[in-house]
Structure 1
């Protein structure tokens, strides 16, 4: 191999290695390391594009399902942070189990999650959230954990031109109503809906 060819090959290998390293760093930045869900950082990046699409095409409405694990502090206090981490991972798996490839699952922080859904009505989001609520309530962690795990949900659909902060605020308000209404239920933004509880 000639020297110029060897230099070119080495340079190509170096560029490919750098590209792979950049991709690895990007993946690390956009994923929550504990749950594997997307991070808030990525949420900001991806939702900007989704909201632009929605502003151009009203049929591409962006909906949000916000979830919060009920009494999570008690889990950490009573069973330790390792068990709390396992609860977070299990809830994240539940949330991912009922998603389409186009949905965007995000760990907002602590025990709070969001799923962003494109092209769904408020009623569809409410039904999805109810399925997720039921799946979380069925989680079984076995001994020594005797506390059942439940989650409360708030859902909202973005209006064209509405900011990300505002639609998140409306979903969070609905989530707050679910918590205030007894937890382990789903509430929708924009007026009262059936706040569902298990029979």
Structure 2
């Protein structure tokens, strides 16, 4: 079965587009699965980190409260406060074991009236005019007995976790102890590829814990629900806070993944989760997803590249197939009439003889057609009209022949038709019809009013008869048709 050029090209592009669609669909499915899994894993990690932080915060605060209450029950401290005497460093060191579990140290000791009996140099910025500068903590201690909060230590420019315990003798308050606790348990929660921000919800300012240092940052929020309703009163000491950098947070979305854009941070795209530490402070976990977003872009780029590569291969094959058919056309097609030529005849007709010898083909027929007095056409009307006659006759023969018939121009005004299956009577009838209709071709009659006539010789191949003998025998019948007056069919 002969497959035409357009069929080959249609099949090629159908295959190419099918491969592109299948590849694209598969990549979209895999991309969606990977994206969903990655997002779920990251959000799960954030949730776990927040839960761990809240749990650890409660544990730390319980230990701080326990050690503070034990410290407040020490008789020596109570007597010192009653006598308004400042404890020595040696006396305070005796209480270090109580504070060891929370990595803490006594920062301030006051009488119940607020007179300072002891203050540490580390937290000297907490003292102004020889009194506690953080009245909210002191007032909460008076009311509740135990209080704690996080403060910005102006002297060290670091966050401080302070607790305050009201010391009583029986039911009578005698003084207050303010304890400073190591806040490093926050960054200790840091997990690889996860950054931490300790943020004051009133001032939107805080501390960015890095590997080897801590940055002071101030947040600028855009269209976000973070810290909408902070509780507690602002701490005035943060008014002196001078940030190292400004972080601009705004919600964004790529590949249907919601995240925060962090302008000014090392990683500009991150998932955020809040773990409340107190009524004023929260710990923000930031999982950078710059790399994940870049991977998704890379996957899409690779998918599009692969799809484009398939189309490029199809385009190259298209050119190759078109070139193949063009070479084939130039090799096996007559340039003027677009019919098969002698090269095609010599290559493709002999194999059919073998099929005829094996009785796979019945009635192998050969017709040789010649335009009568064609030389006079060229001499009278010119070669351009002669070429027009040949092209019009070629279209006429092709139109009335079957798909299985092979139609050739053998050169000059001579044409050949190879047929299968028709006996001599059928071939003769077919040839006479071609002859009669040839004289009525309209485009020829427009230039040659009397039209043209053709002569035809017909033969059926004998078993085992060589192609050259068949052609010679048929050509003799054509010659006979010419001798007998032209415009006729001779059969043998």
TM range (shorter): 0.7 to 0.9
Match of 2:440 among 120, 138, 154: 138
Unaligned runs of 5+ in 1: 190-199
1:83 and 2:83 are equivalent in the alignment: no
What's the counterpart of residue 65 of structure 1?
A: 367
Shift of 1:52: 1.1
Pair 1:166 & 2:166 matched: no
After superposition, the Cα gap between the structure-2 partners of 1:143 and 1:124, relative to the gap in structure 1 and judged at 3 Å, is closer
* 1:175 lines up with 2:487 in the alignment: no
Per-residue deviation, 1:62: 1.3
CA shift digits 1:34-76 (9 cap, x unpaired): 1121111111122112111101116523101111000000000
Mapped partners of 1:16, 1:127: distance in 2: 43
1:44 and 2:326 are equivalent in the alignment: no
Q: Pick which of 94-103 and 58-67 moved more.
A: 58-67
Is the 1:155–1:175 contact (alpha carbons within 8 Å) kept by the matching residues of 2? yes
- How many aligned positions are there? 188
Q: Secondary structure, in 3 states, of the residue corresponding to 1:149?
A: coil
Give the corresponding residue for 2:424. Answer: 122
Which runs of at least 4 in structure 1 moved beyond 4 Å after TM superposition?
A: 8-13
Confirm or deny: 8 A CA contact 1:62 1:117 kept in the other structure: yes
Question: Structure 1 residue aligned with 2:328, among 12, 23, 26?
Answer: 26
Query: 1:34, 1:89 within 8 Å by CA — same for their partners in 2?
Result: yes
Change (3 A) 1:12 1:94: closer
Q: Which has the larger radius of gyration?
A: 2
**Distance (Å, rounded) in 1 between the aligned partners of 2:424 and 2:489:** 12
Change (3 A) 1:96 1:5: closer
**TM-score normalised to structure 1 length:** 0.85
- The match for 1:193 is none
Higher RCO (CA 8 Å, separation ≥ 6 residues):
1
**Does the 8 A contact of 2:428 with 2:489 survive in 1?**
yes
Which protein is richer in strand relative to its size?
Answer: 2
Conserved 8 A contact 1:68-1:112: yes
Q: How far apart, CA to CA, are the structure 1 residues paired with 2:438 and 2:317?
A: 45
Q: Is 1:186 aligned to residue 489 of structure 2?
A: yes
**In 1: Cα distance, 2:318 partner to 2:447 partner:** 49
Q: Once structures 1 and 2 are overlaid, which stretch shifts more, 29-38 or 71-80?
A: 29-38
**Shift in Å, 1:15:** 4.8
Shift, 1:14, TM fit: 3.8
Query: Gaps (5+ residues) in structure 2?
Result: 1-300
Query: What do you get for the CA RMSD once the two structures are aligned?
Result: 2.2
- In the alignment, the residues of structure 2 paired with residue 50 and residue 182 of structure 1 have an alpha-carbon distance, to the nearest angstrom, of 34
Aligned equivalents of 1:45, 1:144: Cα separation in 2: 37
Query: How far apart in 2 are the matches of 1:40 and 1:143?
Result: 31
How far apart, CA to CA, are the structure 1 residues paired with 2:321 and 2:395?
30
Offset at 1:23? 2.1
* 1:58–1:160 Cα contact (<8 Å) kept: no
Give deviations 1:133-182, integer Å, cap 9, x for gaps: 10112234345534431000000011121111111111100000000000
Using the size of structure 2 for normalisation, the TM-score is: 0.36
Give distance in 2, aligned partners of 1:72 and 1:33: 19
Greater helix share, structure number: 1
